Every structure is written in structure tokens, then in C-alpha cells.
């Protein structure tokens, strides 16, 4: 007995030879209508040709399709068109809701975004962008001027803006578009004002920690000139009792007292200015005074045990762009670590060398110590906040990360490596532009 499928094939061949409908049905099948499961289900659900798809494998379906009547073919075609239309409609709805969703995302996202045309004309901006410039046309123009200087391939750049007497900070970058309608580029920005304020608090906290750490040593350091003054005044008083005294001797004593007073005053002044809150704007900073200022605060640490410090700054070193007390803080952190590393080494080799040079608009300050250097882990983590190998109460683990943040905010860089006998930290800073 012939199987049903075989029957279909025979009928298919016969009808195929006899009726013009063949081409329509064949067309339909060639278009792949029965070849996909979704079509199969649809046709099965709605109309006649269900057996074609339901029971026959694809190539048998082809034969079977040849057996279909014109009517069936037309119905299936209409069905297909209707379903296509429905799908198109669905796609349109999906697209519309996607577009509405994207618009809402654009409007509400915390990242500020603004689209600009070929003439640098603002086409649209979202809420976060408008909030950042606080609706001030002046602030917006200032921001645009800053962003226009950005290279689209560069990473985000920090920009500060004065809006209604408040300084705001953002990280901004520009994304150029090609061939996407009117929009030529986007300005994207993220408000980092709060983050900057916290960073500042952290820098102040780290300064206070440095001052706290140095307090005992500094008290000792202040005691020395005070003891000296006490001795000299006692001596002076004895001399005055035996008048007439030699005025030259008296003068030497008075000079010695004033020398000690000046020394003590210098340390106190320095501690006060170091502890003061930093100015908001950058200034021209002398590398020499930042290095020497750091050494004044570290005097006590350098005396016990005695460590030799060699300063080798190139002549006429131009000033760097930055904040003096912050640069001083960077050197304090670097030098304090060097002193700690050197502490337990051979007394004859305890040395720190500070070398400063200048080339192609960049200042380079290299600090080398003889403390044996950093291990791979120390090297990897030096700039990671709270990494410390020092005992509790001795280290905060903030020196490296804060120095890194400060140097980066000046547009510079800080790198660490080892040389034969210890660590080598190099700070590079852009030279201040002449005003
Ligand atoms: P802290 O000094 O409070 O530990 P830092 O961030 O300044 O924090 O330093 C992190 C760690 O890096 C130090 O604890 C130390 O292990 C290592 N380190 C930094 N500078 C040196 C150096 N010159 N020689 C050896 N190790 C160093």
C-alpha cells in the first residue's frame, strides 16, 4: 500500500504537470514559507495547507505544495501578507517605545549630554547638562570653549566653571559623529564637584595626619632653639651682672638668641602654613621652596638617626603650575617614606638624593634613597589608598595615593622604580605658563 507521503508526491507531480497553479504554489514554497517553524505553526493554526508543513519533511513538502490548489495558495499568501503587516506594525510599535525609552534615558540620566551641530550650535541637551550650567548662558559658553579645546580621542578632562559664585567641577569629553544627521558631536560631562570637595577633605586629613606624626619630632626640634635661648639668656644675665661688659660679646649673645628665635619661628610658621586650607586656584610654585619646605618639617626625622640629604637642582629651574603646600605635601610623603626605609640600614650609607631637571616644558624631580627599594607588591600598590606595610599608628597608607592625586591634578605624573640601592620616585610636572 502506498504511503500517504508517496501519494502526495505522485499527486504533486501530476498536478504540477497539469495546472498553471503550480507556479504560484511553487513560488510560495520557494519563498520558504513552509520552511520555518513559525510559518508552519501559523498556517497550521489558520488554514488548509497544514498537512504540507505538518507531516512532510521539507523536500516532500515541496512536492506536496505542487499539489496545492490555487485557492489554497492565495489564502496562504494573504495570510502571509496579513502576518507580515501585523509584524511590521509590531516592529513600528517596538521602535516607537524604544525611541521613547531612549529619550527618557537621555533626559533623566545623571550624565550631562548635549548635541551640537556643524556650527557648534546647541541642538539639544538633557537635564543633567542644563543643571550643571544652571541655565547660565555664560557658564554654558565657558564650558563649550573649554570642551572645544578637547581632542575627541583624549580621555575625559577636568574642567572647572564659575556658576553663580560657586566653582563647579566636571569631567568632560567630546564624541564626534560622522554621517548621523545634523549632530556633529556630543559633549558628555559628569559633575565631580562633590567628589572634589571630598578629595580636598582627604588631602587636609592626610596633612593633619602628617602634622600629627611629626608633632613629637617637631616639639623636640623646637626644644633645641628654646634650650639654646635659655642658656644664652642665662649667660647674658651673668655678663650683665658684671658690668661693664664687653659689648661685642653681648652682641654675639643677642644675635645667637635672635638666630634661635628665627629658627623656631620658621618651623612654627611652616607648620601653620602647611596646615592651612589650600587655595582653590593654581599658582606658580618654586620646586626649590617646596623641597626645602618639606625638609624643614622633616628636620627632626632627618636628625635621628642622621641622614645625609643631597639636593641637586638644575640652575634656573622654572616654576611649576600647582599649589605650593600641596607640592610640599607630595615631597613630605616621598621623603618620609624614604627616611622610614633608610632607618634600619647601614649608618654609613644613609642618604637621600634629590635631583631636579627641566626639558621640553616638563620639570622632573627624582628622589632616590638607600633604603633597599620596594618589593613587587609594594611597587604595584604604592598608589593604592590605604596600602601600608607600616605598623598601626605609623602609616596611614594614604601618602602614595594622595601624592598621585595631587600630581595628576597639576597635569603631571609620578612613577616609582628601584635603583641599585633603593627606591627612586620621579615626579614630572608641567612648567607654569608665563603670565
Ligand atoms: P604609608 O607611608 O602611610 O605606609 P604610603 O602610601 O606613603 O603610605 O606608602 C605605602 C607603602 O609603600 C609603604 O607602607 C611602604 O611599604 C611602601 N613604600 C613607599 N615608599 C617607599 C620607599 N621609598 N622605600 C620602600 N618602601 C616604600
Measure the CA angle with vertex 279, ends 276 and 282; round to 5°.
Answer: 140
- Per the domain annotation, does 358 fall within a domain? yes
Q: Looking at ligand 1, which atom is closest to the CA of residue 333?
A: 7
- Per the domain annotation, does 186 fall within a domain? yes
In sequence order, what are the residues at sequence separation of 6 or more whose Cβ sits closer than 8 angstroms to the Cβ of residue 170? 112, 132, 143, 158, 159, 161, 189, 190, 191, 192, 193
User: Is the distance from CB of 96 to CB of 88 less than 8 angstroms?
Assistant: no
Same domain? For 128 and 84 the reply is no
Same domain? For 178 and 276 the reply is no
- Per the domain annotation, does 172 fall within a domain? yes
Whole-angstrom distance, CA of residue 154 vs CA of residue 348 = 49
Same domain? For 234 and 363 the reply is yes
Q: Over 90: is that where the pLDDT of 205 sits?
A: no
Same domain? For 123 and 225 the reply is no
In the sheet that 122-125 helps form, which strands lie side by side, from edge to edge? 122-125, 112-116, 185-191, 166-176, 157-163
pLDDT at 228 (0 to 100): 84
Neighbouring C-alpha atoms within 13 Å toward the C-beta of 201: 6
Joined together, the cell numbers standing for residue 91 give: 516592529
Same domain? For 164 and 258 the reply is no
Q: Over 70: is that where the pLDDT of 44 sits?
A: no
User: Is the distance from CB of 64 to CB of 56 less than 8 angstroms?
Assistant: yes
Percent helix / strand / coil, the chain, rounded to 5: 55, 20, 25
112 lines ligand 1 (CB under 6 A): no
- Per the domain annotation, does 302 fall within a domain? yes
The CATH code of the domain that includes 291 is: 3.30.565.10
pLDDT at 292 (0 to 100): 92
Q: Over 70: is that where the pLDDT of 135 sits?
A: yes
Tens digits of residue pLDDT in 50-85:
333 333 334 444 554 555 443 444 444 455 667 788
Tens digits of residue pLDDT in 260-283:
888 888 788 777 777 666 666 788
Where does a domain end: 134, 157, 191?
A: 191
What is the best residue among 382, 383, 407 to mutate for testing ligand 1's pocket, by most ligand atoms within 8 Å of CB?
A: 382
> Taken in order 289, 291, 297, 300, is the CA torsion positive or negative?
negative
Phi, psi at residue 238, to the nearest 5°?
-60, -45
> Could you count the other beta carbons within 10 Å of the beta carbon of residue 14?
12
Joined together, the cell numbers standing for residue 53 give: 508543513
378 lines ligand 1 (CB under 6 A): yes
Mean pLDDT for 21-48 is: 42
Higher-scoring residue by pLDDT: 77, 419: 419
Same domain? For 423 and 277 the reply is yes
Same domain? For 260 and 338 the reply is yes
Whole-angstrom distance, CA of residue 11 vs CA of residue 266 = 112
- Per the domain annotation, does 435 fall within a domain? no
Mean pLDDT for 170-180 is: 83
Q: Over 80: is that where the pLDDT of 187 sits?
A: yes
- Per the domain annotation, does 19 fall within a domain? yes
Question: What pLDDT band is residue 33 in, cutting at 50, 70 and 90?
Answer: very low
Mean pLDDT for 381-403 is: 86
Q: CA 246 from chain center: how many Å?
A: 68
Q: Over 60: is that where the pLDDT of 435 sits?
A: no
Residue nearest atom 16 of ligand 1, based on CA coordinates: 389
Pick the closest to residue 285 from 213, 348, 363 (CA basis): 363
Where does a domain end: 151, 173, 191?
A: 191
pLDDT at 121 (0 to 100): 84
Where does a domain end: 137, 157, 191?
A: 191
- Per the domain annotation, does 253 fall within a domain? yes
The CATH code of the domain that includes 156 is: 3.30.450.20
Number of domains within the chain? 3
Question: What pLDDT band is residue 10 in, cutting at 50, 70 and 90?
Answer: low
Beta bridge partner(s), residue 283 = 322
Same domain? For 201 and 185 the reply is no
- Per the domain annotation, does 425 fall within a domain? yes
What is the best residue among 332, 353, 400, 418 to mutate for testing ligand 1's pocket, by most ligand atoms within 8 Å of CB?
A: 400
Where in the sequence is the domain holding 363, given as residue range(s)? 196-430
Same domain? For 27 and 69 the reply is yes
Question: What pLDDT band is residue 142 in, cutting at 50, 70 and 90?
Answer: confident
Pick the closest to residue 371 from 394, 343, 396, 332 (CA basis): 343
pLDDT at 53 (0 to 100): 35
Q: Would the pTM of this model clear 0.75, i.e. be above it?
A: no
Q: CB-based burial of residue 95 (10 Å sphere; 0-12 exposed, 13-18 middle, 19+ buried)?
A: exposed
405 lines ligand 1 (CB under 6 A): no
329 lines ligand 1 (CB under 6 A): no
Same domain? For 260 and 326 the reply is yes
Region of poorest pLDDT, from 36-45, 278-287, 297-306:
36-45
What is the best residue among 203, 307, 337 to mutate for testing ligand 1's pocket, by most ligand atoms within 8 Å of CB?
A: 337
Tens digits of residue pLDDT in 399-414:
898 899 889 989 999 9
> Could you count the other beta carbons within 10 Å of the beta carbon of residue 405?
19
Residue nearest atom 19 of ligand 1, based on CA coordinates: 337
Q: Over 70: is that where the pLDDT of 13 sits?
A: no
Average pLDDT, the chain: 78
Q: Over 70: is that where the pLDDT of 32 sits?
A: no
Same domain? For 223 and 370 the reply is yes
Ligand 1 centroid, distance to 382 Cα (angstroms): 6
Higher-scoring residue by pLDDT: 258, 320: 320
Amino acid at each position: 500500500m502506498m504511503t500517504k507521503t508517496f501519494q502526495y508526491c505522485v499527486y504533486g507531480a501530476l498536478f504540477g504537470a497539469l495546472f498553471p497553479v503550480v507556479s504560484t504554489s511553487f513560488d510560495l514554497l520557494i519563498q520558504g514559507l513552509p520552511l520555518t517553524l513559525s510559518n508552519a505553526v501559523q498556517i497550521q493554526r489558520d488554514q488548509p495547507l497544514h498537512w504540507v508543513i505538518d507531516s512532510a519533511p521539507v523536500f516532500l513538502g515541496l512536492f506536496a505544495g505542487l499539489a496545492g490548489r490555487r485557492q489554497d495558495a492565495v489564502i496562504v499568501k494573504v495570510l502571509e501578507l496579513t502576518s507580515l503587516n501585523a509584524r511590521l506594525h509590531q516592529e513600528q510599535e517596538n521602535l516607537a517605545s524604544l525611541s521613547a525609552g531612549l529619550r527618557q534615558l537621555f533626559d533623566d540620566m545623571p550624565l550631562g549630554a548635549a548635541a551640537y551641530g556643524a556650527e557648534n550650535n546647541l541642538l539639544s541637551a538633557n537635564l543633567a547638562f542644563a543643571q550643571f550650567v544652571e541655565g547660565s548662558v555664560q557658564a554654558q559658553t565657558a564650558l563649550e570653549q573649554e570642551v572645544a579645546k578637547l581632542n575627541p580621542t583624549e580621555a575625559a578632562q577636568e574642567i572647572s566653571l564659575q556658576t553663580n559664585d560657586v566653582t563647579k567641577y566636571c569631567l568632560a569629553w567630546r564624541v564626534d559623529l560622522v554621517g548621523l544627521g545634523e549632530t556633529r558631536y556630543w559633549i558628555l560631562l559628569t559633575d565631580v564637584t562633590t567628589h572634589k570637595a571630598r578629595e580636598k577633605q582627604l588631602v587636609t586629613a592626610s596633612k593633619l595626619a602628617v602634622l600629627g606624626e611629626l608633632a613629637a619630632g617637631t616639639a623636640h626640634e623646637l626644644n633645641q632653639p628654646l634650650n639654646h635661648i635659655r642658656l644664652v639668656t642665662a649667660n647674658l644675665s651673668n655678663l650683665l651682672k658684671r658690668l661693664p661688659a664687653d659689648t661685642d660679646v653681648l652682641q654675639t649673645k643677642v644675635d645667637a638668641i635672635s638666630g634661635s628665635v628665627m629658627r623656631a619661628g620658621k618651623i612654627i610658621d611652616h607648620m601653620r602654613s602647611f596646615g592651612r586650607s589650600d587655595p582653590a586656584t593654581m599658582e606658580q610654585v618654586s620646586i626649590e621652596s617646596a623641597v626645602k619646605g618639606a625638609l624643614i618639617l622633616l628636620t627632626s626625622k632627618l636628625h635621628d638617626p642622621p641622614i645625609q640629604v643631597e639636593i641637586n637642582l638644575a640652575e634656573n629651574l622654572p616654576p611649576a603650575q600647582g599649589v605650593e603646600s600641596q607640592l610640599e605635601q607630595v615631597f613630605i610623603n616621598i621623603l618620609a617614606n624614604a627616611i622610614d626605609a633608610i632607618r634600619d640600614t647601614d649608618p654609613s650609607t644613609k642618604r637621600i638624593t634629590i635631583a631636579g631637571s627641566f626639558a621640553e616644558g616638563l620639570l622632573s624631580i627624582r628622589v632616590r634613597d638607600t633604603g633597599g627599594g620596594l618589593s613587587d607588591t609594594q611597587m604595584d600598590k604604592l598608589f593604592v589608598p590605604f596600602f601600608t606595610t607600616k605598623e598601626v599608628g605609623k602609616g596611614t597608607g594614604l601618602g602614595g595615593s594622595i601624592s598621585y592625586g595631587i600630581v595628576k591634578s597639576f597635569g603631571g605624573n609620578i612613577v616609582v622604580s628601584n635603583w641599585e640601592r633603593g627606591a627612586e620616585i620621579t615626579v614630572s610636572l608641567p612648567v607654569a605658563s608665563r603670565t
